[in-house]
Structure 1
Amino acid sequence: MNGFPRGRTAIVGSATYGIGKAPGLSSMDIAVNASVSALRDANLTPDDVDALYICLPDNFLSGLTFAEYLGIQPKITENNRTGGSAFLTHLASACLALDAGLCDTALIAYGSNQLSGVGKLVTPAGADPYEGPYRPRLPVSAYALAAARHMHDYGTTPEQLAEVAVSARQWANLNPEAYMQGYLSIDDVLQARRVSSPLGVRDCCLVTDGGAAIVVTRADRAKDHASTPVHVLGAAAATFHYNISQMPDLTVTAASESGARAFAQAGYGPEDIDVVELYDAFTINPILFMEDLGFCPKGEGGRYFEGGRTAPGGEMPVNTNGGGLSCVHPGMYGLFTIVEAVRQLAGQADGRQVAGARLALSHGSGGFLSSQVTAILGTEETL
C-alpha cells in the first residue's frame, strides 16, 4: 500500500493564458484568466470550486487573494511554495484531499507578468552568506556548475547540451502558442552569447509572461466534465538540498527518488511512457532528469538526446510544447508540464500530437535542482 489514490482522481480541465507578453495585466489577472478558461473547459464555474492551489512570484498570500478575486469561499486554500515544482506538489495534495472527501473540485493555477513587469529572470536567492560573496549569477550559475560537473565526470559535450535546445525548438515550431519559433541549429546554440560557462543564452529558458490552470476532481465525477479525463496515477516529491553548494552530488538530483516512487505508485516504468514533459529551465536539466528518472543510465543523458531522439518523429517525445526553452517560462514553468501532458493524453495537441499517447510523465523542479516532483498521468485505459 503506497498511500496514493492511484487513478481515483482526474484532470478534467486545463488552459493557458497570456503566453509571451500580456502587458497591463498583473500576475493574478493572468492566473485568473487561465483559471476561468480551465473551468469552462470542464463545464464548471468558480462557484463549483472548493479547493484553491496557487503560487505566484510576486504575492506571498496569493491563496487568499485568489479566493477573493474569484469571489468564492473555498474549504481549502493552499499556497505552498517549492519553486517551479510547486504545482506538481499542489497536484499531489489535491489528489489526497479529493480522495479523502475534503473537497470536490480543486483548481490549481499560476500566472506571471515577468516579461512585461520585470523583464528579466528573477530569483529570490543570492543573499546566502556562503555563496553570496562569490557573486554567482543566480539561477544560471548554479545550473552551470551542474553542467560543468556532468561534462567532467561523463564527457558530456556542449553539442549534446545544444541538442536539448534544438529538440525543444523543433517542437515549438509545431505549437502556435510558443513564444520563440524559427530555425535553431546546434551551431546557433554553441555560438550564442555565453551567460555562465558552459551555458550560453540558448541554453537558458525564456523570460515571458503567461499563466496556466488545471481542474481536478474525483474519477467518479470526471466523465461529467471531460470527454477524455486524464487520471493521476502517481505523484511523488523529494528534496536533497536548497543551495547548490549543499547539493550532495551535482550530477544526481532528487528526481532519482521522486520518479521511482511515482512509478511505483502508478504501476508503470519508464519503458511504458509515451510522452515526457520536463522542467527545462536550462539544457542540463533534461539530461539530468532523463537519467535520474530511469530513461537512461547515469552519464548517458547527453548521448540520449543525440540524433533527434526526443524531437518530433523521435522515439521518445520530450517537451512537446517547446518547453521552457522555446515555448514559455514566466518565472515558474511546472504547471505548463501538466497542461501539455493533459493535452497530449486528451488528443488535443493538434500538429504536435503524439499518436496513441496513453501515459505521460510530468516533472517539476524548484530552487537550484532542489525540489523535484514527478507525476504519472494516464488515460482511462491505463487504470
Structure 2
Amino acid sequence: MAGLGHAGTRSEQDIIAQAASTAVAASGLRMEQIDGIITASLTSPWWVMRMAEYLGIRPRFSDSTMFGGSSFIAALKIAQLAIAAGECDNLLICYGATPRSAPSSTAVNQMRAALDPQPYEHPYQPFNPPTSYALAAARHMHEYGTTREQLAKVAVAARKWAQLNPAAFKRDPLTVDDVMNAKMVSEPLTVRDCCLVTDGAGAFVVTRADRARDLHPAPVHVLGTGHAHWHRQISSMPELTVTPAVDSGRAAFAQAGLGPADIDVVELYDAFTITPILFLEDLGFCAKGEGGAFVSDGRIEPGGSLPMNTNGGGLSFAHPGMYSIFLVIEAVEQLRGAAGARQVPEARTALVHGNGGVFSSEATAILSTASPAEVRS
C-alpha cells in the first residue's frame, strides 16, 4: 500500500498500520504469522517497539537500523540474512510519516540536527539538504557539461509517469521551462528540482522463496542486494559526482548474476533531479558524465527504452521524509503487471535503488518474476 498525500489528523502509527494490514493480507499471510519486523522513523528512536506493539505482533527478529532514505532497501539485505539464518520466516518491512499534515515532525528533525551539528558545515548555515545536493549538481555541470535543461528533464519525465498514476500527489502538466523558471531554492536547483513533502505510508512482506508460490500467485523474488556508505555529510564526500552506488550496485548485480542490460524497469531515489543522473552512471546504465545526455531524449519517460520512476517518483508521486519503501512497492506492481495505465510491457526484472543522507548511504536490490534458481538455469 502506498499513498496518502495528506493524512489529516491520522497519526504515523495509524497510516503505517493501514499499509501493513493491506500488505500482510495481500501476501496471503495473517498478522499473527509475521515473526519479523524492520522499520525506522525520522522522529522516534523506539519506533520498532512501538510499531510491533501497535500491530499486535511479538517478533522473533526485529531491526530499526537507520540509514536515512535508503533504509527500506538496505532492509532487504537484512531480511535476506535474517531469513537465511532462520531468525524468522515472514518479515514485515514498513514505514510512514506525516510531515505535510504534522509539521511538528519537521521541527523534531531540526532539533535533532541541532544536537548533532556537522563541524565542517554547520558554521556556514547551509539550507540542507538542498544546498548539499546543489553542490553535487553544480560540480557535475562544471565537470561534464550537464545542463539545467537536462536536470529539468528528470522532473518532466517523473511528471509524465505521475499523470498515468491516479495516486500521485502532483499530476498537472510540467515543462522544462516550468522547472527552470520556478523559485530558486539553492542554485542550480529550483523548487521543481526538489522532491515533494507529503504524508504517506508503505509496507511489504518478505518470506522464504520456497514457500512464496504457495502464498501468492505472483511472488516477486529478491535476486541480489547491496549496500554501501562512505561518509555522512557532503563535506566528507571523496568525489562529488561519484556515490557509494558504485559499490552497492556492483554487489547487487553480482549476487543476482545480472547486469544493467538485463533490467526492464528502474526505480531510483529522486529526492532531487541530480540524484537519478548520478545513480544511472554509478549503477552502470551509462558512463560517468553521460547521465545528463542519457535522460534528455525521452529514454526514461513513458514509452522510453529504460522506464524510470514509473509511479512519478519522489518528485511527483510522494515523499514523506524517506522514500525508498515506495520504490520497492512500485517495482513489485510493475513486475506483477498491476500498474494500470503506467504498466511497462513485459517487465520481468527491476532495479530499485535508495539514497540516504547526502549520497551517504546507497542501497540497491534486483527484483525479478523469476526465482534465483530459474535465473541461474
- TM class by shorter chain equals over 0.9
Which among 77, 85, 97 is matched to residue 112 of structure 1?
A: 97
Q: Which amino acid in 2 is paired with 1:323?
A: G
Distance in 2, matches of 1:76 and 1:90, equals 13
Partner of 1:6: none
Q: Residue 31 of structure 2 corresponds to which residue in structure 1?
A: 46
- After TM superposition, list the pairs within 5 Å mapping 1:133-148 onto structure 2: 133-148=123-138
- 2:20 is aligned to 35
Residue aligning to 1:228: 218
Whole-Å separation in 1 of the counterparts to 2:345 and 2:251:
27
The alpha carbon displacement at 1:119 in A equals 7.7
Query: What is the CA-CA distance between 1:57 and the residue it aligns to?
Result: 1.8
Q: Deviations over 1:216-272 (max 9, x none)?
A: 100111012211100000001011111110000000000011101110100000011
Whole-angstrom distance in 1 between the partners of 2:262 and 2:166: 29
Unaligned runs of 5+ in 1: 1-14
Instruction: Work out the CA distance in 2 between the residues paired with 1:258 and 1:214.
Output: 22
User: Which residue does 2:161 correspond to in 1?
Assistant: 171
Query: Does the Cα contact within 8 Å between 2:335 and 2:349 map onto a contact in 1?
Result: yes
1:125 Cα deviation from its structure 2 partner = 3.7
Is 1:186 matched with 2:176?
A: yes
Write out the 4+ residue segments of structure 1 that deviate beyond 3 Å after TM superposition: 119-126
User: Contact 2:43–2:105 (CA<8 Å) still a contact in 1?
Assistant: no
Q: Residues 148-167 of structure 1: matches in 2 within 5 Å?
A: 148-167=138-157
Q: 1:130 and 2:115 equivalent?
A: no
Which residue of the other structure, out of 342, 362, 371, is the alignment partner of 2:332?
Answer: 342
Contact kept in structure 1, 2:98 and 2:105, CA below 8 Å: no
Q: 1:120 to 1:106 in 2, by over 3 A?
A: closer
Q: Count residues in correspondence.
A: 368
SS at match of 2:152: helix
Q: Which moved more, 1:243-252 or 1:96-105?
A: 96-105
Residue correspondence of structure 1 range 139-288 to structure 2 within 5 A: 139-288=129-278
- 1:348 to partner: Cα distance: 0.8
Q: Which amino acid is 2:268 matched to?
A: L
**Partner Cα distance (2:347, 2:161) in 1:** 16
Matching residue of 1:65: 50
**SS in structure 2 opposite 1:262?**
helix
Cα distance, 1:173–1:120 mapped onto 2, change above 3 Å:
farther
* Partner-residue secondary structure (3-state), 1:238: strand
* Contact 2:223–2:366 (Cα < 8 Å) also in 1: yes
Q: Is the counterpart of residue 90 in structure 1 residue 98 in structure 2? A: no
RMSD between superposed Cα atoms in Å: 1.3
Structure 2 letter corresponding to 1:205: C
- Describe the SS at the equivalent of 1:331: coil
Alignment deviations for residues 142-180 of structure 1 (CA, whole Å, 9 cap, x no partner): 100000000010000000000000000000000011001
Amino acid at match of 2:32: D
Rounded Cα–Cα distance in structure 2 between residues aligned with 1:301 and 1:287: 5
Give 1:72 shift. 1.6
Instruction: Tell me the SS of whatever aligns to 1:184.
Output: coil
| One-letter amino acid of the structure 1 residue matched with residue 46 of structure 2 | L
Secondary structure at 1:25 match in 2: coil
Mapping for residues 296-375 of structure 1, pairs under 5 Å = 296-375=286-365
Q: CA deviation at 1:81?
A: 0.2
Shift of 1:120: 8.8
2:168 aligns to what SS in structure 1? coil
- Alignment of 1:22 with 2:12, yes or no, is no
2:278 alignment partner AA: L
> How far did residue 373 of structure 1 move?
0.4
For each residue in 1:62-104, what CA deviation from the matched residue of structure 2 results, as whole angstroms up to 9, or x when unmatched? 1100111011211011111000001111111111111222111
Partner of 1:372, secondary structure, is strand
Q: Assess if the C-alpha contact under 8 Å between 2:244 and 2:362 holds in 1.
A: yes
CA contact 2:228–2:248 (8 Å) conserved in 1: yes
C-alpha distance in structure 2 between counterparts of 1:44 and 1:330, whole Å: 27
Identity %: 54
For the 8 Å contact 1:120–1:207, the answer to whether it is kept is no
Distance 1:63 1:167 in 2: 36
State the one-letter code of the partner of 1:360. Answer: A
Q: Deviations over 1:21-42 (max 9, x none)?
A: 0111121211111000001111
- 2:241 corresponds to which letter in structure 1? T
Hey, what's the Cα distance between the residues in 2 that align with 1:156 and 1:321? 25
Q: What is the aligned partner in structure 2 of residue 8 from structure 1? A: none
Q: Is the 8 A contact 1:114 1:331 kept in 2?
A: yes
Whole-angstrom distance in 1 between the partners of 2:292 and 2:17: 39
Query: Alignment partner of 1:23: what SS?
Result: coil
Of residues 297-306 and 98-107 in structure 1, the stretch that sits farther from structure 2 once superposed is 98-107
